[in-house]
Structure 1
Amino acid sequence: MSLNKHKIIPLIESYYHTFTPLERTIADFFIHNTEEQDFSSKNISGLLYVSEASLSRFAQKCGFHGYREFIYEYKQSLTPGPEENIPNFEVSEFNTYQELLNKSNALLDKAQIARITNLLVSKPRVYVYGRGSSGLVAQEMKLRFMR
């Protein structure tokens, strides 16, 4: 599994609700850590008072083959990219939007989207209802389906 920079934190957050309390402790560490350090399984397991096997299971639950692959991607997310000449307020705004996009992308379930698409295509009629602003969205959806 190869991720772009800064996608690993949203990925961990997207699986957070499925974690056991022990795995949440591990997740919290990686979510809130901001500095480079010794991420060997021996060091982190000693630091968090968990077993090395728990670290491996955590990494697998996040979709990686093992802890080494997870740590490789995690270290990549810690290294800053090249600085751009953008004013400070624009950088923070850009980073906020980028984080939202990364979280949204990590939450996408492509299999579910494919199932919904197949359901919509297989039906002769699809009714969309809404009231108020949802009604406007329903009208827009109707127009898009008609195209």
Structure 2
Amino acid sequence: MTQPPNPVAAIRGVLPSLTPAAQAIAKLILEDPGVIVRSTITEFSAVSGTSEATIVRTARALGFTGYSQMRFSLAAAVAREKPERLVPGDLGPDDPLTDVIAKVARAESEALDDTAAQLDPAQLGEVVTAIAEARRVDVYGVAASGLVATDMSQKLLRIGLSSHPFSDAHLALTSAALLRKGDVVVAISCSGETPDVLVPTRTAKEAGAMAVAITNNPRSSLAELADHTLISAGRETAFRPGALASRISQLLIVDCLFVGLAQRTYETADAAIRATREATERYRTR
């Protein structure tokens, strides 16, 4: 089984999909990944207050073959990274702004690193090809993900691709119902369970469109529905809810798609960029 570059980030991503018992164990691991490294399964059973059988089931639910493989994978991660890299410091209400700057910068840098490490180039290439050949591209996202959806559509428009962002479920459904084979939907949701994104995406697929998911959770309903899934990463903290924590990594995926599309459609993209730049420059210098 191929192990993720950062198993801690992978565990964080699937956390919402776990059973309550498995979530409790996973949260202990996220709080201190080293606890697994230091403990036999019997010792961890005592620390977590759960049975060995529950721990084994949780390890399998997290994508490992069992406790030993989970322990080995986390040990490798701990050896590669500094402890603060695995468990970034949370922000406190009394933190000085110097600490705020350092902690936010570190959290966002780590989100980018984790996203880049688990972004599959082959999957990304297939999405680039589909969008490049699409008649039309709809992008769905609400709240923080809606900002990313707007950013993606603006980028696609800049290189001459027809794209429309939707953060309103009713408008998204209206558009989704009119899509057809050859069209592409990019659905953005940190949790992968947002109804305002899920329902239009399902409607678009029923109409014949291809669905691409950008989500933190590879086991979410959105990931299961999508034809292609691109995984983002981000650690939720007291002052940065999951959706906000993932925004920077979602933007990284969008930027990778944009550059890949600009390369794939270089002649038309270059002409479109020059034409749009000239138009805006004329407007500014009137």
2 CA distance for matches of 1:10 and 1:43? Answer: 24
1:55 matched to which residue of 2? 55
Q: Where does structure 1 lack aligned partners over 5 or more consecutive residues?
A: 83-88
Retained in 1: the 8 A contact 2:34–2:74?
no
Q: Which amino acid aligns with 2:265?
A: M
Runs of 4 or more, structure 1, over 6 Å off, are: 109-112, 129-132
RMSD, matched Cα: 3.8
* Corresponding residue SS for 1:79: helix
1:139 aligns with 2:157: yes
Distance 1:30 1:103, change over 3 A: farther
Distance 1:138 1:23, change over 3 A: same
Retained in 1: the 8 A contact 2:22–2:58?
yes
2 CA distance for matches of 1:132 and 1:14? Answer: 24
- Percent identity, aligned pairs only? 16
How many aligned residue pairs are there? 136
Structure number with the bigger relative contact order (C-alpha 8 A, sep ≥ 6) is 1
More helix by share: 1
Distance 1:115 1:17, change over 3 A: farther
2 CA distance for matches of 1:70 and 1:34? Answer: 10
1 CA distance for matches of 2:41 and 2:30? Answer: 17
- Trace 1:1-147 onto structure 2 (pairs within 5 A): 1-4=2-5, 7-33=6-32, 35=34, 38-79=38-79, 81=81, 93=105, 96-103=108-115, 105-106=117-118, 116=127, 119-120=130-131, 125-128=134-137, 135-140=153-158, 142=161, 144=262, 146-147=265-266
Give the TM-score normalised by the residue count of structure 1.
0.66
Q: Where does structure 2 lack aligned partners over 5 or more consecutive residues?
A: 83-100, 140-148, 162-260, 267-286
2 CA distance for matches of 1:50 and 1:62? Answer: 16
Retained in 1: the 8 A contact 2:131–2:137?
no
Retained in 2: the 8 A contact 1:129–1:138?
no
